[in-house]
Amino acid sequence: MLIDTHVHLDSFPDCEIPLILDRAHSVGVGFVICAGTTVESSARAVDLSRRFNSFFAGVGVHPMDIVKPLTGEDYMELRNLALKEEKVVVMSEIGLDYMEGMPDRAWQFPAFREQINIARELDLPIIFHSRGAHQDCFRVLKEEKGYEVGGVMHYFQGTIKEANEIIDLGFYISIARPIFRLPHLQEVVSKIPITNIVIETDSAPQPFKKNRDNWTEPHYLRSITKKIAELKDMDEASVETALFHNTRQLLSHRWGILNKYVPDL
């Protein structure tokens, strides 16, 4: 079974989601985890998780979406979403983003720190975003003891040194479609142990692609798995088994809940 650890299916209209999930199931995707990016999108991810057995949720505020400093009320809403809904299985998507034009870092840092603290309080793995901010992300995760719950460096595109740093901190790296176009990422995947990898698609609407069939969806996990197998000179079934085991370890404290909705686990 393949597991998509990071999607943004909440951004699709309701009518498309069952079709997307059906296409995913047809290639062996067992379930998806939808990341929140705001309080509102986190609530929508939770709502969708109630409607579809193979749909689970993360709650969090993405650094790109911090349009004003987060308040105690914002943090309380995130905490309550996670407390009230058993299908919330991760704190996602949180982190730091230093791309030009991103929100003030003075807003990003406290948001990242406080959401790590919520994750630790609720025993939720942390799925974090880092763009141009890897060393600061690693430092904050150490300072706030994010390693106590572990998690994933989402959509990893870094160096072998950065991969080893975050692995040493107790986190997985998540591989997505950039593996097809980035030679340095292919080298990273070939060198790090398969035991430190999970996979994702980061699926979201892509209207800039005129052909709807080319939009990234969870069904692309199959081709990502095949590419990992090729790079590591392993058979695809062994890679799939390893990735499943890694995701099970990541979500070990929630596995009973996952199995309740996806019995084949």
* Mean pLDDT, rounded, for 238-246: 98
Residue 140: the pLDDT is 98
Predicted pLDDT of residue 8: 98
**Predicted local distance difference test score (pLDDT) of residue 200:** 98
pLDDT at residue 208, as a whole number: 94
pTM exceeds 0.95, yes or no = yes
Q: How far apart are CA 72 and CA 75, in angstroms?
A: 5
What percent of the chain has a predicted confidence (pLDDT) above 70?
100
Backbone dihedral angles phi then psi of residue 59, each to the nearest 5 degrees = -120, 145
What is the average pLDDT score of the chain?
97
pLDDT tens digits, one per residue of 15-24: 999 999 999 9
Confidence of residue 44 (pLDDT cuts 50, 70, 90): very high
What pLDDT sits at residue 38? 98
pLDDT tens sequence across 50-91: 999 999 999 999 999 999 999 999 999 999 999 999 999 999
pLDDT digits (tens, 9 = 90+) for 96-112: 999 999 999 999 999 99
Does the pLDDT of residue 265 top 90, yes or no?
no
User: What is the pLDDT at residue 264?
Assistant: 85
Query: Mean pLDDT throughout 6-10?
Result: 98
CB atoms within 10 A of CB 98: 15
